[in-house]
Amino acid sequence: MFAIERQNKIKDILLKEKRVDVYELSQRFAVTEVTIRRDLDKLEKEGYLIKIYGGAVLKEDFSPESEQPVVEDETLEEKKLIGKIASQMIENDEAIYLSPGVTCLEIAKNLKKKKLTVVTNDISIGAVLKDCAGIKTIITGGDLIPSTFTLVGEFALQTMKNMFINKAFISVKGIHFQSGFTVNSHEEVRVLEEIKKISNEIIIVADYTKFNNTAFARLGDITMSGKIITNKQIPGEYKAFFFENNIKLYTTYEFE
Amino acid sequence: MAVYNDFLEMRNITKSFNGNKVLDKCCFSVKQGEVHALVGENGAGKSTLMKILAGLFTADEGEILIDGRAVSISTPKQSQDLGIAMIYQEVRLFSDLSIAENIFINREPLKSPKFLRLIDWDSVYSETRKYMKQFSLDINPHTPVKNLSAGQKKFVEIIKALSQNARIIIMDEPTNALTEQEIDILFNVIRELKSIGKTVVYISHRIQEIKRIADRVTVIRDGRIVQTDDVESVDINTIIKAMADKEVDDRYPKLNVKPGPVIFKAQNVNLEGRLFDVSFDVRKSEMFGITGLSGSGRSTLARVLFGIDGGYSGVIEINGKKLKAITPKIAKKNGLCFVTGIGTGEGLINNMDISKNITITDLLRVSRLGMIDSGMEFHYARDFIDRLGIQASEKEIVDNLSGGMQKKVIFAKWLFTNARILIIDEPTAGIDISSKVDIYNIINELVLSGSSIIMISSDFPEIIGMCDRIAVMFNGRIQKILQRGECTQEKILYYASGGK
């Protein structure tokens, strides 16, 4: 059954029994607890329930307009989907690079059960990976760009000497036919150029809002990478272009 | 058909862009009245060479001769005046104008007295009708171009070229967006062109088609002409080898998903005179491909597996359950579904909107008290439209959708039934490139979430690019099942032509 149906049934149960339990629901609907938690998240956002430890209770004075969620990243869902596909491409015992940003952060969140080496110059990504037993995390040194989690500069470049990376996941701020792949600053470009030199494969990741956008610093042509992971909402001309230029374009879909 | 001397000759054509040499001393000649295929990988230079002929680029070095006389082609008009017509991959017609208006645009016959510049519309339409009749095309010349299928638009462009007295028509990847039926019609049109003395240059990367339609074939690779052969006498495998030392499957977004246990098995399936001893199994989260040349039995096999064609013998097993005499109803109940081609009329119900088409496979889900709840219908449909990226309203009639959108609606229809095994017949035939990429990614997500795909395709690069294992059929039999890593176009052709 589909998510909407399940969520509707959960609402029915809540109305009758006033509370639900994650484990019971997962057994009843024969889905994982993660799936049930996602359902409960959604229903909480819509104001039907309040989550408690192990389950949720019906929100008695339910009104749809209350409980507006804190303004989040509009494309967080899309970034999560990208994270899922990217993690699917990573095999155990590989050495990967994750570039700064929320998109790669979402990739990191999907790596919990893997055994690998992750190199990054984003300190928040390092933090997310700290409790992953099988992952050897290497955070480069460097100067922290103010108001960001990104490390750049001579010390960052130093860390990367004598390293070899199997797959580098590079997140960009702009993807445009003429201006190519662009990021915020030239310091970031400098680090990424070094990454390009030591990596076997570059995979560009970006949510759909980055298309037809141009940021300040140019990283390269849009044909510089053989694989791109983004979302299905990108303009059709880009889909056709990448296909015709022998570049694998992965776009995310969600069916559950 | 008598064939004259080289009517068109390109000698030592060299061209660079920004210091990159794109064409290197290319020599290419075409005889009048022949169909000459120009094949090569993407980026090999075939389009550039032809664009020089079409007046879009000028060569840095080299010369072009027509009827033995050197000519200069620096503008598209000069090219056209010499009788060269180019039909591009993208449609270059005015979609809101009719077929006839497009053909005669800027050249409309005038009524007398001519200085009044009144267009003789009767003439316009009767001339157009004449051309269409000549090529056995049964379409009303008043039809606005936007209402035509991809194939029909191609034919209009060919007729337009002819009406401008083209002697040589260059077609750049003409079959990319056509269904198999439309390809057959196109080939008939090309044969008709030959019979009236026209010359055709056919640019393509699809080897199977070359065999069917071309007289000679020239291979271009990395900006150089490699060889020219007579199609009849050459071995297609040498053509493939000459084209590249790497496969053209780099563009397919394949995701490597670890397959699970076997969920589908066909054992000794026989259909009187059509299928012989077909056996194979498919695992969970696997993409299993079935391919072969025209007439190999692949489409028949698909219909038998889903139960459309009965009267077969053998066993079909789904999730360990042996099913005798499978029917579409039994198949559906067991999570097996059949995503048909868009041109076949079996996938969608015409004149019905998207939401009805999607929910028709399981009306119980959208019914309350025995009556269909349209609110629920639209609700589910909107959800699918969102998830699959179908750019239309749920109330839109399916006939008005493009090929790619229609295909997605067919997918939505089957996803609505929670199908776990999808038999997909020609997943991207007749669909524009952007939608092709969408379909590949939709299939990826299906596989990631645990479904299995049985993909039937005549597009060899596609099936090599996307599938984990590929069954090659010949004359109703599976000749060989190839693993992903070992599969090449040559191997497929070998088994598809009867190799053992």
The answer to whether position B369 is within a domain reads yes
Least confident of B111-120, B127-136, B254-263, B470-479: B111-120
Tell me how far apart the alpha carbons of residues B152 and A140 are, in angstroms, rounded to a whole number: 58
**Can you give the pLDDT at residue A64?**
46
The answer to whether position B112 is within a domain reads yes
> Closest-CA residue in chain A for B462?
A243
Query: Which chain A residues are Cβ-neighbours of B442 within 8 angstroms?
Result: 253
User: Are residues B170 and B289 part of one domain?
Assistant: no
Nearest to B392 by CA among B409, B412, B374: B409
* DSSP state at residue B484: G
User: Are residues B280 and B185 part of one domain?
Assistant: no
User: Are residues B488 and B460 part of one domain?
Assistant: yes
pTM of the model: 0.68
Mean pLDDT computed over B185-191: 89
CB pairs under 8 A between A and B: 84
**Higher per-residue confidence, B321 vs A69:** B321
Return the amino acid letter for A60.
Answer: E
pLDDT by residue (tens digit) across B74-108?
A: 998 899 899 999 998 777 888 888 888 888 887 77
Q: Work out the minimum CA distance from A162 to partner chain B, whole angstroms.
A: 30
**Is the Cβ pair B433, A89 closer than 8 Å?**
no
**Is the Cβ pair B250, A246 closer than 8 Å?**
yes
**Is the Cβ pair A243, B250 closer than 8 Å?**
no
Tell me how far apart the alpha carbons of residues B307 and B391 are, in angstroms, rounded to a whole number: 32
How many other CB atoms are found less than 10 A from the CB of residue B260? 12
The answer to whether position B238 is within a domain reads yes
Q: Work out the minimum CA distance from B288 to partner chain A, whole angstroms.
A: 20
**Can you give the pLDDT at residue B3?**
46
Tell me how far apart the alpha carbons of residues B83 and B342 are, in angstroms, rounded to a whole number: 37
**Is the Cβ pair B255, A89 closer than 8 Å?**
yes
Nearest to A26 by CA among A57, A58, A54, A59: A54
Residue B408 lies in domain: 262-496
The answer to whether position B44 is within a domain reads yes
Helix B433-448 vs helix B403-415: crossing angle, to nearest 10: 20
* Interchain CB contact of B434 with A (< 8 Å): yes
* DSSP state at residue B307: T
The answer to whether position B256 is within a domain reads no
Q: Could you give the domains of chain A?
A: 3-58 (1.10.10.10), 76-252 (3.40.50.1360)
- Alpha carbon distances (Å) from A221 to A201, A204, A247, B292: 16, 12, 13, 38
- Please return the burial class of B222, using the count of CB atoms within 10 Å of its CB with bins 0-12, 13-18 and 19+: middle
User: Are residues B220 and B153 part of one domain?
Assistant: yes
User: Are residues B192 and B274 part of one domain?
Assistant: no
Mean pLDDT computed over B28-49: 86
**Is the Cβ pair A246, B257 closer than 8 Å?**
no
Mean pLDDT computed over A137-146: 95
The answer to whether position B255 is within a domain reads no
Instruction: Report residue A65's pLDDT band, with 50, 70 and 90 as the boundaries.
Output: very low
Tell me how far apart the alpha carbons of residues B457 and B463 are, in angstroms, rounded to a whole number: 6
**Can you give the pLDDT at residue B249?**
61
Strands B321-323 and B313-318: antiparallel
User: Are residues B307 and B175 part of one domain?
Assistant: no
Indicate whether B452 pLDDT > 80: yes
Q: Work out the minimum CA distance from B50 to partner chain A, whole angstroms.
A: 18
Q: How many domains does chain B have?
A: 2
Of B213, B243, B273, which marks where a domain is finished? B243
- Closest in A240, A244, A249 to B253, CB measured: A249
Tokens representing A180 are: 């190519």
User: Are residues B274 and B239 part of one domain?
Assistant: no
Nearest to A90 by CA among A168, A191, A205: A168
Indicate whether A184 pLDDT > 90: yes
Of B243, B275, B297, which marks where a domain is finished? B243
Inter-residue contact A237 to A197 (CB < 8 Å): no
User: Are residues B403 and B316 part of one domain?
Assistant: yes
**Higher per-residue confidence, B434 vs A165:** A165
User: Are residues B67 and B181 part of one domain?
Assistant: yes
* Interchain CB contact of A254 with B (< 8 Å): yes
**Is the Cβ pair B387, A253 closer than 8 Å?**
yes
* Interchain CB contact of A29 with B (< 8 Å): no
User: Are residues B268 and B239 part of one domain?
Assistant: no
Tokens 């005889």 correspond to: B31
Q: Work out the minimum CA distance from B128 to partner chain A, whole angstroms.
A: 33
- Alpha carbon distances (Å) from A220 to A102, A208, A210, A231: 21, 19, 15, 21
Indicate whether A68 pLDDT > 50: no
Of B215, B243, B271, which marks where a domain is finished? B243
The answer to whether position B252 is within a domain reads no
Tokens representing B261 are: 């246990």
Indicate whether A72 pLDDT > 90: no
**Can you give the pLDDT at residue A170?**
97
User: Are residues B418 and B293 part of one domain?
Assistant: yes
> Closest-CA residue in chain B for A233?
B389
**Is the Cβ pair B438, A239 closer than 8 Å?**
yes
User: Are residues B353 and B467 part of one domain?
Assistant: yes
Look up the CATH number of the domain holding residue B451.
Answer: 3.40.50.300
The answer to whether position B253 is within a domain reads no
